[in-house]
Amino acid sequence: MKFTLPKGMKDIAPDEMAKREYVVARLKDALRRFGFQLVEPSALENLETLTAKSGPDLEKEIYAFEDKAKRKIGLRFDLTVGMARYVASTDAPKPLRLACISNMWRYDNPQYARYRSFWQWDAEVYGCAGAEADAEIIALMIEAFKGLGLDAQIRINNRKLIEGFVLGIGIDKKRLAAVLRVIDKTAKLSKQQLIKEFAKCDVGKKQADAILTLCKGGATLESVKATMPKNELAQEGYKELEQLFALLGTYKIADRCTLDLSIVRGIDYYTGTVYEAWVDGKTGAVAGGGRYDDLLSIYGKPMPATGVAGGIERLLITLEAKKLLPATIAADQYFVAYATGDMFADAVNVVQALRKRCLPAIMDLSRRDLRKQMEYANKLNVRNVIIVGKKELEQGKLKLKDMASGSEREIRINLEELQALTQQ
């Protein structure tokens, strides 16, 4: 019998895992510097929790099933919903900054840079209704990608402004969510394809042309102010954008941010400012998010919130394409080799001493000769190899070899200290 993975799933091999850890470490560093606390929401949720505000397209992608007690359960499709549900059950001081880096599942069509099980990093601010929280999240996005060598451009819009425009050209509220989901596909579909999608929502060609003209790009706050409808919703969205861009100037990152009226985000829980991070057009947005002020009220605690999430797989592909990842990532550990088989116990003592010092250390457990040990260490991408030889050990010395350069040097050891460490 041949055992295979389900469609859309993949194993993560050690070399890829090392690259993931490299990326995650830099993301965690940015999150730490911005004061975000790491959490881990449950992977399993009651299905009603996941479908409360996801939208019909996303509902189709939820991995849903009945447990043994016939309860309807689902695997999380993002981290925002679980974190919002968690925050609604706590009384932590606000504003609250929470973050998570973990995996989720969507029964989607597998394709380039998209799997049915995938990982995301996520950062959210709860309890702050002003644009200050949105500016902080955008600053975090720019800093996080900068730490990976990426010059991200942040595309920003406001759902209220777009919703006000759509309603202002005669499209009723019943069709609004469907129309917004079509607008969200602007970067992926041609004009003719978009017009066909709008037609499925009973949007006429004249109305579709008006929307596409608005979302074609190159908009500025000044041009939007001159052409947007005067209804209250659009005016409120414009004011929020105006406040946000002023704050981005204060953060000195306004030059990294542009107004893009085609950015609406496809999930129904978004309510105001939305944003996406782009570094090129090949893999699409590498992160996206926005304000979702109504979501926590569904879980029993009304509270303003905003946040961002980005896919780890898509980020890895982007970094690989731009050659921003090391070709091989040296294992962060020492390899202790023994010159002869009778030095095995001495090598164990050195390994244990290193571990007592909180240094990661391994050795060959198969008692192979020195040449094969060195070949093994090389395959493991270990950079630092300590060689234990009888003569050197008697003199209180060990050899340290740098596998990258091939250079060797002797290091002195205290045999009594080494023995004491291994006995602790």
Name the band, by pLDDT with cuts 50, 70 and 90, for residue 421. very low
Share of the chain above pLDDT 90, in %: 64
Is the Cβ–Cβ distance between 46 and 21 less than 8 Å? no
Give pTM, 2 decimals: 0.85
Backbone angles phi, psi at 62, to 5 degrees: -75, 130
Q: What's the length of the chain?
A: 424
* Residue 218: CB atoms within 10 Å: 9
Give the mean pLDDT of the chain: 90
pLDDT digits (tens, 9 = 90+) for 155-214: 999 999 999 998 988 888 888 888 888 988 887 888 889 989 899 998 888 898 888 888
Identify any residues that bridge with 274 across adjacent strands, giving them in sequence order.
Answer: 157, 290
Report how far residue 216's alpha carbon sits from residue 196's, in angstroms, rounded to the nearest whole number.
17
Closest CA to 184 of 170, 204, 166: 166
Report how far residue 412's alpha carbon sits from residue 402's, in angstroms, rounded to the nearest whole number.
16
Q: Measure Cα distances from 170 to 166, 183, 287 in Å.
A: 7, 16, 33
Q: What is the pLDDT of residue 112?
A: 74
Q: Which domains can be identified in the chain, with CATH numbers?
A: 14-321 (3.30.930.10), 331-423 (3.40.50.800)
Q: How would DSSP label each residue in 380-397?
A: TTEEEEEEE-HHHHHTTE
Comparing 96-100, 229-233, 362-366, 375-379, the range with the smallest average pLDDT is 229-233
pLDDT digits (tens, 9 = 90+) for 31-55: 999 999 999 999 999 999 999 877 7
Asked whether the predicted pLDDT for residue 274 surpasses 90, the reply is yes
Asked whether the predicted pLDDT for residue 424 surpasses 50, the reply is no
Q: What is the pLDDT of residue 280?
A: 80
Asked whether the predicted pLDDT for residue 124 surpasses 50, the reply is yes
